[in-house]
Amino acid sequence: ITVMLRTIWIATFADLIFVMTEGGPAGSTSTVPVYIYVSAFKSLDKGYASAVAVLLLVLLIAYAIGLIAIRRTLVRHV
């Protein structure tokens, strides 16, 4: 559970990165949430940013389901 919560927290960690570095030199500290923010509010491409955000949500849900499935199989074998 800790791994899943930390992954979700890191995936939504855009505000601190954007405030401190705005993606850093040549995008070296850019993450997907920062990319979504830049696409939506700097490039004014809200449709594309929404699509990327939905894709990120689907990936995080799939990751959470996978971790829960792995945890269930490990608990059964113990």
Chain-centroid distance of CA 72 in Å reads 24
Domain that holds residue 47: 2-77
pTM recorded for the entire structure: 0.72
Number of domains making up the chain: 1
10 Å Cβ neighbour count for 43?
Answer: 10
At 12 the three-state DSSP class reads coil
Per-residue pLDDT tens digits of the chain, which is 78 residues long: 677 777 777 777 777 777 777 767 776 777 888 888 889 988 899 999 999 999 999 998 998 899 889 888 888 766
DSSP 27: G
**DSSP H helix total and E strand total for the chain:** 4, 0
